[in-house]
């Protein structure tokens, strides 16, 4: 299978391999715990020149310990791909499972309409509440009632297997003075035409209108990433009516 690494910089073919203390692909480091996937050192010896990367692999699990290992490619015709997704959140953004969703959404009425809420702004539909508009109203006051309007987007859940299989998941935390945040790092097995969305959280040094997201899709030949849904569908493909394979491939 082809392999790809996705970061905030874009899509790059292959996985970077670290050799200490053993050959592995890093998936994060938080609270002193390392997250990594073993790479078969016999299958991928240290290169004599160039970057230490692997580009085509198969994923297996050992019988004794059920450990995930990346080994040399077993089936060159396997149409799926392996993807390490390692996209940094904004300043003070925090990793969360609900940041990873499907690519389609529906508009829903805010369920908090007409209810008193002890905040200045509804966290669901983002409407300002009376306490943020009138200094005589406290957020804890029963007068701080959500308006009888407001909607929010409800996103489809993250695709289930076999469309996308989460083989491993880690977390990375940045604690330097210029950027404090954490984000999930996932190793995904993707069927052709599988796609998903990541909502990036935290503060970014760019003007924005609405959420900052990344859409990612495996076309069967190319891994596509964009800021909008239309970015991951070439002009000759329809966004609606896209189908996904329900056939399971060999190996994992």
Tens-place pLDDT, residues 16-47: 999 988 999 999 876 667 889 999 988 898 88
Based on the fold, state whether residues 129 and 162 are members of the same structural domain: no
Is the distance from CB of 144 to CB of 131 less than 8 angstroms? yes
Regarding whether 141 and 42 lie in a shared domain, the answer is no
- Asked if residue 12 and residue 93 are part of one domain, the reply reads yes
Asked if residue 97 and residue 16 are part of one domain, the reply reads yes
Q: If pLDDT is split at 50, 70 and 90, which confidence band does 247 have?
A: very low
What proportion of the chain, given as a percentage, has pLDDT over 90? 64
What mean pLDDT do residues 169-194 have? 85
Task: Judge whether 216 lies within some domain.
Answer: yes
Which residues make Cβ contacts (< 8 Å) with residue 223, sequence separation at least 6?
2, 4, 6, 11, 81, 83, 216, 217
Regarding whether 117 and 12 lie in a shared domain, the answer is no
Range of the domain at 167: 2-105+156-232
Asked if 30 and 135 sit in the same domain, the reply is: no
237 against 13, higher pLDDT: 13
Say whether pLDDT at 92 is over 80.
no
**What percentage of residues in the chain have a pLDDT greater than 70?**
88
Decide: pTM greater than 0.85: no
Strand 10-13: give its sheet, edge to edge: 10-13, 2-7, 81-85, 179-190, 164-176, 24-30, 33-39, 68-72, 57-61
Residue 81 above 90 pLDDT? yes
Check pLDDT > 70 for residue 174: yes
Phi–psi pair at 103, nearest 5 degrees: -100, -5
The reply to whether 116 and 76 lie within a common domain is no
Same-domain status, 71 and 24: yes
pLDDT band at 242 (very low <50, low <70, confident <90, very high): very low
Token look-up 């997704």 returns 85
* CA–CA dist 4, 45 (Å, integer): 20
Tell whether 218 and 168 lie within a shared domain. yes
Look at the chain and report how many structural domains it folds into: 2
């Amino acid at each position: 299978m082809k392999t790809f690494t996705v970061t905030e910089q874009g899509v790059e073919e292959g996985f970077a391999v670290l050799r200490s203390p053993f050959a592995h692909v890093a998936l994060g480091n938080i609270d002193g715990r390392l997250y990594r996937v073993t790479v078969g050192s016999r299958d991928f010896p240290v290169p004599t020149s160039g970057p230490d990367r692997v580009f085509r692999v198969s994923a297996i699990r050992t019988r004794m310990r059920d450990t995930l290992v990346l080994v040399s490619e077993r089936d060159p015709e396997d149409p799926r791909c392996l993807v390490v997704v390692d996209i940094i959140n904004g300043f003070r953004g925090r990793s969360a499972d609900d940041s990873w969703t499907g690519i389609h959404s529906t508009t829903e009425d805010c369920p908090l309409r007409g209810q008193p809420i002890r905040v200045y702004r509804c966290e669901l539909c983002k409407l300002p509440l009376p306490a943020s508009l009138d200094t005589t109203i406290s957020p804890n006051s029963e007068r701080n009632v959500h308006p009888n309007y407001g909607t929010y987007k409800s996103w489809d859940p993250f695709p289930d297997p076999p469309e996308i299989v989460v083989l491993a998941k880690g977390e990375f935390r940045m604690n330097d003075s210029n950027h404090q945040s954490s984000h999930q790092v996932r190793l995904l097995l993707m069927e052709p035409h599988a796609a998903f969305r990541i909502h990036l959280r935290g503060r970014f040094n760019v003007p924005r209108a609405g959420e900052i997201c990344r859409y990612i899709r495996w076309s069967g030949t190319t891994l596509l990433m964009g800021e909008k849904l239309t970015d991951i569908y070439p002009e000759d493909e329809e966004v609606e009516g896209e189908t996904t394979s329900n056939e399971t491939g060999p190996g994992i």
